[in-house]
Chain A
């Protein structure tokens, strides 16, 4: 991971903007930002961002690579798409935030114990295993993602919620030993592996 980070940082030594344009989903839009700040004012989690999107965009242009990639900010995106709907320049901001988060993760730059990063990875592993989400296992992994002790505490605190979901048949205990699945899991896994290879190759090409 850090090898890739070193390689990329050296390859794009003179321009972090170029690195973002080449490797981050929708990154080619970053230079279009005109710093109006409508995204910051429209974000439901706005007050929790160390650097709102327009600041991240300017930091990218200013070459503040370390500060951007190791920021918690893009992990605060709730995917509400308000910034996209309102951006006067039409930047796909939500997607750029997802792209920055994904790229930071690939380079091993995510701050330790970042809760949304942890949960998002658990989610991805959960849904790709059998092709469909297992909500019970997702909930349990979420409770225990910060260790056993915290997990038991969280599970106890949310006991009533869990029971409510089971009572209303909106959560099924049967998901624990089986659960929903697609038929062609092997095809799905091969497909995702190929997609991953193609995507990795694009970053490696640039090395």
Chain B
């Protein structure tokens, strides 16, 4: 083929430059928001102290304690969860060819809630809670986390098995996910029906997503899994672009569509499962963030994925900070804030016809 008369067009360079600029701006906003979030709270830490401490020049012992053992882990947990859920959402929307795809479309969160309820009732995980709410205390948080995680993976496993027999098409995966969601919801309700007051409170409380549940060890696990997942998604950015152009086009470009679809779904489920097992259900970030980003920089996954990851982190960190401050000293569940923000966008997407 002699396509020798081409050049690298300047206008395309500029166009790509703008996308890179957007990503850099979000990254800068995230860094700023992180510093502000850490400085605000029951005891205000001056912004200057926060920056100094983060850079390793902190001097005041009281501030060091607040920053490093309370505020920073919580803020980083919010960033990790937002980033992971948004990346999983962006990938799912492409893989499932469905603008309403999100980490929760496949019933992963319903399964996790069921797992947690199962742990409370049957495994005697007892009463759970969070450091924020004194009324409910944790007796065995790890059993509950493990049960929630196992149930999420069970849901993902069922979808993979069905995809194996019926072909990994978006229809098969979405429909199976919806069925599983209904099944696990019914299972949770069944358990709740027989639960006593304390158990019921624990089950309901678990579903409120809460970034304060994770401390450094949990954060490390969630961050490692999220980072690995994000790298996986970014390595497949071209494949997702190709799948957006249609399965046949993608196959013609050498993409193993079924394999990319099944592994992408598995990675998204894994990232989601780890996050919600530690933090509880945090809705809408995974659904809404990719759509917001798509509106600004388009659906080229080379840029959509990193931008969604950063925007997701930024959004959940901002919501989490708001949740801590709005009714201080009470801490609202962050999922409530994200859902208040996400639901209207969701409805807007439906009204607009669900077009990408």
Does B associate with A?
A: no
Which residues of chain A have a CB within 8 Å of any CB of chain B?
none
